[in-house]
């Protein structure tokens, strides 16, 4: 669906940069190494198609994720310099930034006092008088400045000299670096803003060939400029206001296309593979719900209904269950699994660590108390004979439920009829791993999938990363849970902290001591790779357990848990703590997820400043799980202002979702722990969370269009879906 080329601006810096419209059609392109009339596919040409882009510069561009001309067009300025006024030399004040137009009178190169740098000094003048212009350390410039040369200089008056930041020749120069509103694009190692600006002006002439992906009706209603105009204006705006409007237009388009790609993928997934029909709940499940030792919370009840709704539909469930630590997700997992069992199918629960899988097995035991439902635990620690037996019974269908780790997705594991799979802490698994479990459904059908996470994902991220999943959030904690008192303290409180913990232990409670993360930088000096840090962390934890055993907690049983221990020992450590035989569990961050010992009421975290906010919140969630008041003591050396603000957030904020928003705001989207695993796309223009309003609008518009036309592929919608796939087609999300 071709759209008419957008009009080319006839005046202003865009036109100046591009030449007159007529010249543009021939001239500018004739000079560019683009021989034929550019087609939209021109935008797919590599960066090297530009003048002055050799292998070295295009490698530098690749670092900025710029490989095609189209990429460059979407690489929008992050700020603009207002050089719209040309000033006279005599009117400048010291320290003032300005653009001046001068003639060169004389040139010389001289060393600085330290002799390492060289300075180019040019005597220049305009109507208002003479001045010395200087360039630092660019001696070669001197050769280009013959007396009589006319120059545009942008820079700053330093005392009596004009220090040049950028210069251009009046003859043959475009003025685009020194006059008007000058864009500054994000630059990188070996690639200056000036170079990118020059490139941007070359591809600017291709902007009018950009496909317009937004339906005309939508553009008219939201008063959005055309794609081509917006692209031209964002790179070379006539006024600053134009630039911001254009950026917003393009950010909206980007988010809109991403949402469209997610919606299309979801539609495709549903069309491709049917789910397994599980009907409605029967006696087994109803009975079981009635037998639970507690009342479901309101959020849990709502989730049960949503899951039921999913299971009754012909397409496979793809639901993301986000629940605060301790919000009771396991009951819901079990609910979905039992629905499969009662219809004669099988269910699997996959967890990222052995400890967690063990823990789930124990919970299942407990929650299924009076209902002998055979299930197996399958991890890499499962003895070979037991494993063989379990595999045989899974393949025959005799074994209905299996709980395990990555061991579940190995090729030898086959099911007779896997109808429900639950993935706990789903972001800890790779896309392929989740897909491998998904592929184990009965001939051609996809199992219903429930993806669980206790890492709260702020709305901004969940809409982008998981826009194609249904989401359920458990905000409410089971009744009777008290908020965990949280204290961030320094070394001076150490003796007091141990005394406090001993007092709780004497009351019969238990405690965790979590050792610091090994600082990756320090560790990597000796050896790269996470295996090494984990070893160091394990060693530190073992030493700390030893120390506490001998000193502070000499009167108590101290256990040790870290990721490097053999599975058997880990199990023993967990059992000892769960049964109350050990009073204090010294651990690395392996206890972050899933461990559930209601009698543990104090958690002490060492080196808290090294942990992410979400991680600290997870750790804190290990306590406050029972009837007793609980405390979280964070030993921290804040160091930076940022660390101080993050620690004060964890001290004051109890809601994990709000904490995640704070984390996002403080650290920026890319930095959040696990963001990469969440499959977040890299947006070129949109900035999250700042553009959240645009994102929610874009999502609403996509859903409205899909509902109106039945599909995003409707001819009325033009090239929308093509454009979406081109932009985000290879983005990886949850199992397709």
For binding to ligand ADP (CB under 6 A), which residues are involved?
294-297, 300, 323, 325-331, 454, 478, 596, 625
Q: How far apart are CA 36 and CA 23, in angstroms?
A: 15
* Radius of gyration from C-alpha coordinates of the chain: 32
Binding site partner of 631, from ligand ADP, Mg ion, none, Cβ cut-off 5-8 A by kind: none
Q: How far apart are CA 310 and CA 277, in angstroms?
A: 10
Q: What's the closest the beta carbon of residue 154 comes to ligand ADP, in angstroms? A: 58
- Shorter beta-carbon distance to ligand ADP: residue 121 or 655: 655
Q: How far apart are CA 618 and CA 209, in angstroms?
A: 50
Please identify which residue in the block is written with the tokens 């030493």.
543
Closest C-alpha to 599, from 569, 625, 621: 625
Binding site partner of 562, from ligand ADP, Mg ion, none, Cβ cut-off 5-8 A by kind: none
Binding site partner of 259, from ligand ADP, Mg ion, none, Cβ cut-off 5-8 A by kind: none
- Shorter beta-carbon distance to ligand ADP: residue 364 or 692: 364
Q: What's the closest the beta carbon of residue 342 comes to ligand ADP, in angstroms? A: 21
Binding site partner of 328, from Mg ion, ligand ADP, none, Cβ cut-off 5-8 A by kind: ligand ADP
DSSP assignment of 244-305: HHHHHHHHHHHHHHHHHHHHHHHHHHHHHS------S--HHHHHHHHHSSSPPPHHHHHHHH
- Shorter beta-carbon distance to ligand ADP: residue 297 or 355: 297
The 3-state DSSP class for residue 171 equals coil
Q: How far apart are CA 506 and CA 735, in angstroms?
A: 49
- Shorter beta-carbon distance to Mg ion: residue 42 or 625: 625
Stretch that binds Mg ion, among 46-54, 76-84, 593-601, 623-631 (CB under 5 A): 593-601
- Shorter beta-carbon distance to Mg ion: residue 441 or 594: 594
- Shorter beta-carbon distance to Mg ion: residue 356 or 548: 356
Q: What's the closest the beta carbon of residue 462 comes to ligand ADP, in angstroms? A: 17
Q: What's the closest the beta carbon of residue 230 comes to ligand ADP, in angstroms? A: 45
Terminus-to-terminus CA distance in the chain, angstroms? Answer: 28
Stretch that binds Mg ion, among 252-260, 311-319, 544-552, 591-599 (CB under 5 A): 591-599
Q: How far apart are CA 537 and CA 563, in angstroms?
A: 9
The residue from 594, 612, 624, 718 that contacts Mg ion (CB under 5 A) is: 594
Q: What's the closest the beta carbon of residue 509 comes to ligand ADP, in angstroms? A: 16
- Shorter beta-carbon distance to Mg ion: residue 360 or 628: 360
- Shorter beta-carbon distance to ligand ADP: residue 535 or 654: 654
Binding site partner of 327, from ligand ADP, Mg ion, none, Cβ cut-off 5-8 A by kind: ligand ADP
The torsion of the CA quartet 359, 362, 368, 370, rounded to 10 degrees, works out to -170
Which of the 8 DSSP states describes residue 674? T
> Which secondary-structure segment (H or E) carries 347?
strand 346-350
Stretch that binds Mg ion, among 53-61, 118-126, 171-179, 588-596 (CB under 5 A): 588-596
Q: What's the closest the beta carbon of residue 295 comes to Mg ion, in angstroms? A: 19
b or e along 403-423 (b: 16 or more beta carbons within 10 Å of the residue's beta carbon)? bbbbbbbeeebebbbbbbbbb
Q: How far apart are CA 536 and CA 562, in angstroms?
A: 11
The 3-state DSSP class for residue 112 equals coil
Stretch that binds Mg ion, among 338-346, 456-464, 517-525, 587-595 (CB under 5 A): 587-595
Stretch that binds Mg ion, among 98-106, 302-310, 553-561, 589-597 (CB under 5 A): 589-597
Q: What's the closest the beta carbon of residue 363 comes to Mg ion, in angstroms? A: 8
Binding site partner of 294, from Mg ion, ligand ADP, none, Cβ cut-off 5-8 A by kind: ligand ADP
Q: How far apart are CA 660 and CA 388, in angstroms?
A: 43
- Shorter beta-carbon distance to Mg ion: residue 174 or 455: 455
Q: What's the closest the beta carbon of residue 626 comes to Mg ion, in angstroms? A: 16
Binding site partner of 596, from ligand ADP, Mg ion, none, Cβ cut-off 5-8 A by kind: ligand ADP
The verdict on 352 binding Mg ion (CB under 5 A) reads no
Q: What's the closest the beta carbon of residue 713 comes to ligand ADP, in angstroms? A: 39
Question: In the 3-class helix/strand/coil scheme, how is 373-415 assigned residue by residue?
Answer: CCEEEECCCCCHHHHHHHHHHHHHCCCCEEEECHHHHCCCCCC
Binding site partner of 478, from Mg ion, ligand ADP, none, Cβ cut-off 5-8 A by kind: ligand ADP
> Which secondary-structure segment (H or E) carries 432?
helix 431-438
Is residue 159 a contact partner of residue 140, using CB atoms and an 8 Å limit?
no
- Shorter beta-carbon distance to ligand ADP: residue 89 or 593: 593
Binding site partner of 323, from ligand ADP, Mg ion, none, Cβ cut-off 5-8 A by kind: ligand ADP
Q: What's the closest the beta carbon of residue 463 comes to Mg ion, in angstroms? A: 24
- Shorter beta-carbon distance to ligand ADP: residue 300 or 346: 300
- Shorter beta-carbon distance to ligand ADP: residue 268 or 298: 298
Q: What's the closest the beta carbon of residue 477 comes to ligand ADP, in angstroms? A: 9
Binding site partner of 177, from ligand ADP, Mg ion, none, Cβ cut-off 5-8 A by kind: none
- Asked if the bond preceding 618 is cis, omega within 30° of 0, the reply is no
Binding site partner of 331, from ligand ADP, Mg ion, none, Cβ cut-off 5-8 A by kind: ligand ADP
- Shorter beta-carbon distance to ligand ADP: residue 179 or 455: 455
DSSP assignment of 707-723: HHHSSTT-GGGTTHHHH
Q: What's the closest the beta carbon of residue 295 comes to ligand ADP, in angstroms? A: 6
Binding site partner of 379, from ligand ADP, Mg ion, none, Cβ cut-off 5-8 A by kind: none
Residue 486 makes CB contacts below 8 A (sequence gap 6+) with 620, 631, 632, 634, 650, 651
Is residue 129 a contact partner of residue 89, using CB atoms and an 8 Å limit?
yes
- Residue number closest to ligand ADP, CB atom: 328
- Shorter beta-carbon distance to ligand ADP: residue 277 or 295: 295
Residue 342 makes CB contacts below 8 A (sequence gap 6+) with 281, 282, 283, 284, 285
Q: What's the closest the beta carbon of residue 302 comes to ligand ADP, in angstroms? A: 12
Q: How far apart are CA 378 and CA 402, in angstroms?
A: 7
Closest C-alpha to 350, from 410, 275, 276, 288: 410
- Shorter beta-carbon distance to ligand ADP: residue 454 or 578: 454
Q: What's the closest the beta carbon of residue 598 comes to ligand ADP, in angstroms? A: 6
Q: How far apart are CA 514 and CA 649, in angstroms?
A: 20
Binding site partner of 178, from Mg ion, ligand ADP, none, Cβ cut-off 5-8 A by kind: none
CB count within 10 Å of CB 298 equals 11
- Residue number closest to Mg ion, CB atom: 594
Q: How far apart are CA 399 and CA 416, in angstroms?
A: 9
Q: What's the closest the beta carbon of residue 321 comes to Mg ion, in angstroms? A: 10
b or e along 515-529 (b: 16 or more beta carbons within 10 Å of the residue's beta carbon)? bbbbeeeebeeeeee
Q: In the chain, how long is the greatest CA-to-CA distance? A: 98
- Name the residues that contact Mg ion, by CB under 5 A: 594
């Amino acid at each position: 669906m071709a759209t008419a080329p957008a009009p080319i601006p006839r005046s202003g810096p865009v036109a100046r940069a591009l030449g007159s419209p007529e010249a543009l059609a021939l001239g500018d392109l004739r000079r560019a190494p683009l021989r034929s009339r550019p087609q939209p596919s021109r935008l797919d040409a590599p960066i090297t198609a530009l003048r002055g882009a050799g292998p070295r510069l295009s490698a530098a561009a690749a670092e900025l994720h710029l490989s095609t001309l189209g990429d460059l067009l979407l690489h929008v300025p992050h700020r603009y310099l207002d050089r719209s006024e040309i000033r006279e030399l005599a009117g400048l004040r010291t320290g003032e930034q300005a653009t001046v137009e001068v003639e060169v009178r004389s040139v010389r190169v001289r060393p600085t006092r330290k002799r390492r740098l060289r300075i180019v000094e040019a005597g220049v003048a305009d109507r208002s008088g003479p001045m010395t212009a200087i360039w630092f350390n660019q001696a070669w410039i001197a050769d280009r400045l013959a007396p009589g040369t006319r120059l545009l200089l942008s820079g700053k008056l330093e005392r009596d000299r004009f220090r040049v930041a950028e210069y251009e020749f009046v003859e043959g120069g475009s003025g685009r670096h020194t006059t008007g509103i000058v864009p500054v694009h994000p630059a990188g190692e070996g690639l200056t803003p000036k170079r990118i600006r020059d490139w941007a002006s070359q591809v600017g002439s291709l902007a009018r060939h950009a496909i317009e992906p937004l339906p005309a009706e939508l553009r008219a209603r939201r008063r959005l400029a055309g794609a081509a105009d917006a692209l031209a204006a964002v790179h070379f705006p006539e006024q600053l206001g134009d630039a911001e409007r254009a950026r917003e237009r393009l950010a909206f388009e980007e988010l809109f296309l991403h949402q469209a790609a997610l919606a299309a993928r979801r539609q495709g997934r549903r069309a491709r593979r049917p789910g397994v029909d599980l009907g409605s709940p029967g006696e087994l499940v109803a009975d079981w719900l009635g037998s639970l030792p507690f009342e479901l919370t309101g959020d849990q009840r709502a989730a049960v209904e949503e899951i039921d709704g999913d299971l009754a539909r012909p397409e496979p469930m793809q639901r993301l269950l986000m629940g605060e630590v301790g919000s009771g997700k396991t009951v819901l997992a079990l609910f979905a699994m039992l629905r499969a069992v009662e219809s004669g199918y099988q269910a699997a629960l996959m967890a990222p660590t052995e400890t967690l899988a063990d823990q789930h097995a124990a919970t299942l035991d407990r929650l299924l108390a009076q209902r002998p439902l055979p299930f197996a635990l399958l991890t890499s620690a499962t003895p070979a004979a037991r494993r063989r037996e379990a595999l045989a019974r899974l393949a025959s269908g005799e074994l209905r439920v299996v709980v395990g780790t990555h061991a579940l997705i190995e090729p030898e594991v086959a099911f007779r009829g896997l109808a429900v799979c639950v993935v706990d802490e789903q972001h800890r698994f790779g896309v392929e791993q989740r897909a491998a479990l998904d592929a184990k459904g009965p001939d051609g059908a996809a199992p219903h999938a429930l993806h669980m996470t206790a890492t709260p994902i702020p709305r901004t991220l969940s809409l982008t990363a998981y826009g194609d999943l249904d989401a359920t959030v458990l905000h409410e904690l089971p009744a009777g849970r008290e908020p965990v008192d949280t204290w961030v303290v320094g070394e001076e409180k150490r003796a007091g902290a141990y005394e406090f913990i001993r007092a709780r232990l004497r009351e019969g409670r238990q405690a965790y001591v979590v050792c610091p993360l090994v600082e990756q930088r320090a560790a990597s000096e000796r050896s790269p790779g996470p295996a090494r840090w984990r070893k160091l962390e394990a060693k530190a934890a073992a030493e700390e357990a030893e120390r506490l055993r001998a000193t502070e907690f000499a009167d108590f049983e101290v256990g040790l848990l870290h990721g490097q221990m053999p599975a058997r020992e880990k199990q023993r450590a967990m059992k000892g703590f769960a049964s109350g035989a050990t009073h204090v569990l010294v651990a690395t961050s392996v206890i972050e997820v899933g461990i559930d010992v209601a009698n543990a009421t104090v958690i002490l975290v060492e080196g808290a400043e090294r942990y992410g906010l979400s991680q600290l919140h997870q750790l804190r969630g290990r306590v406050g799980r029972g009837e007793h008041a609980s405390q979280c003591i964070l030993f921290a050396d804040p160091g930076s202002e940022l660390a101080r603000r993050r620690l004060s957030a964890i001290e004051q904020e109890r809601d994990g979702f709000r904490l995640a928003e704070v984390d996002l705001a403080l650290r920026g989207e890319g930095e959040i722990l696990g963001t990469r695993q969440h499959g977040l796309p890299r947006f070129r223009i949109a900035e999250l969370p700042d553009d959240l309003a645009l994102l929610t609008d874009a999502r609403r518009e996509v859903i409205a269009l899909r509902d109106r036309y039945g599909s995003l592929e409707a001819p009325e919608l033009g090239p929308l879906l093509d454009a979406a796939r081109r932009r985000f087609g290879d983005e990886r999300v949850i199992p397709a």
